[in-house]
Amino acid sequence: MSLLEEDTGRKQIAQRRRMDFILHILFVICTSIGVLALMALMVDIIMDGIMRFAPDLFTNYPSRRASQAGMKSAIVGSLYMLLIMAPLSFILGVGAAIFLEEYAKKNRLTRLIQLNISTLAGVPSIVYGILGLTLFVRGLALERSLLSGALTMTLLVLPIIIVSAQEAIRAVPKARRDASFALGATKWQTVSRSVMPSALPGVLTGVILALSRAIGETAPLVMIGGLTYVAFLPESILDSFTVMPIQIYNWISRPNEAFHELAAAGIIVLLIMLLLMNFAAILLRNKYQKNV
């Protein structure tokens, strides 16, 4: 009897070990498919584009001749847009998150707002383009300008920033707040000096990742009129503009092979920019995690 039990026990253990091993392999495969796809993409893009990855790409305006074409106006357009967007979306997004987490009463209205924000985070970007077109381009008569583009993109990333900032704020232990209140601090003092400093790494990571999503977006900007051929740099926030993804899309849809190589080079620039932003997010996170 006991021998039999021991035997089934051993069998079960062997079976569980085998199961564990199979799942282990399965998860490794899952990971490597993603990584391999990314590697394949990178190798393919770099092979296509490295020849065109030259100073001309940064200093020349678009041209009908691939040999002279660059994406200066697109790079500068993307950077300017980021410049307008970042402070706006940071202030609005983190402000909303602080309100929802710290000030708002946990009632039905708050839950409704919360649900709306989560839904908005999943709305396709082209919808924001339509919204931007009616609201900013036509409604506020900002025309097809850098400002309209930046405001539209701000709307697009806001829900993502709010949700991630909320997560970060929620992760701050309640004891910190209690301690602050116990010392007689007001709500704002507690939030600004106790909660936010410790939530900051998470908030910043969220903001930067949301911004890096925004610089890769094309659809909403095409909708509100980001242009394709712009041979000048925007001089004011009400000027016409173009951004990198639009320029890349235009190049890739041309018949001539040389433009496809240019597009690949443009993608390399975009990837480098994304990498730098993600790198900045990691740096910031590490720095603040040490401080707090």
Partner 1 sequence: MLKGKGLQSILMLFMVMTLVFVAACGNGEKNTANDKNSGAGGNVSSGTNEEVAANLSGEIKVDGSSTVFPLTEAAAEEFGKENKDVRVSVGTSGTGGGFKQFCAGEIAISNASRHIKDEEAAKCKEAGIEFTELSVAYDGLSIVIHKDNDFIDHLTVEELNKIFSSESTAKTWADIRAGWPAEEIKMFSPGADSGTYDYFNEAILDKKGIRNDSAISFSEDDNTLVQGVAGNKFGIGYFGFAYYEENADKLKVVPVDGGSGAIEPTLDSIKDGSYAPLSRPLFIYVSKKELDRAEVKGFVKYYIENIGDMAKEVGYVPMPDEKYTEEAAKIEA
Q: Footprint of partner 1 on this chain (CB under 8 A)?
A: 58-65, 72, 75-76, 79-80, 82-83, 86-87, 90, 143-144, 180, 189, 192-194, 196-197, 200, 204, 222, 225-233, 235, 240, 242, 250, 252-257, 260, 280, 284, 288, 291-292
CB of 87 to partner 1, least distance (A): 7
Q: Which is nearer to partner 1, 116 or 253 (CB)?
A: 253
> DSSP letters of 72-140?
HHHHHHHHHHHHHHHHHHHHHHHHHHHIIIIIS-SSHHHHHHHHHHHHHHTS-HHHHHHHHIIIIIIIS
CB of 73 to partner 1, least distance (A): 9
Please choose, from the candidates 209, 104, 110, 115, the residue with its C-alpha nearest in 3D space to the C-alpha of residue 164: 209
> DSSP letters of 141-198?
---SSHHHHHHHHHHHHHHHHHHHHHHHHHTS-HHHHHHHHHTT--HHHHIIIIIHHH
- On whether the CB atoms of residues 114 and 100 are closer than 8 A, the answer is yes
CB of 100 to partner 1, least distance (A): 19
CB of 288 to partner 1, least distance (A): 7
CB of 166 to partner 1, least distance (A): 18
Q: Which is nearer to partner 1, 27 or 232 (CB)?
A: 232
CB of 256 to partner 1, least distance (A): 6
CA distances from residue 262 to 43, 60, 77, 154, 221 in whole angstroms, order as listed: 15, 12, 18, 29, 21
Q: Which is nearer to partner 1, 187 or 254 (CB)?
A: 254
Q: Radius of gyration over alpha carbons of the chain, in Å? A: 25
CB of 39 to partner 1, least distance (A): 23
Q: Which is nearer to partner 1, 56 or 120 (CB)?
A: 56
CB of 224 to partner 1, least distance (A): 11
Q: Which is nearer to partner 1, 39 or 79 (CB)?
A: 79
d(CA 261, CA 243): 18
Q: Which is nearer to partner 1, 104 or 233 (CB)?
A: 233
The four Cα atoms 114, 119, 120, 124 give a dihedral, to 10 degrees, of: 170
Question: Could you give the angle at which helices 72-98 and 146-170 cross, rounded to 10 degrees?
Answer: 40
In this structure, what are the phi and psi dihedrals at residue 159, rounded to the nearest 5 degrees? -55, -40
d(CA 77, CA 58): 12
Q: Which is nearer to partner 1, 113 or 176 (CB)?
A: 176
d(CA 255, CA 125): 28
Please choose, from the candidates 114, 101, 94, the residue with its C-alpha nearest in 3D space to the C-alpha of residue 204: 94
Q: Which is nearer to partner 1, 28 or 79 (CB)?
A: 79
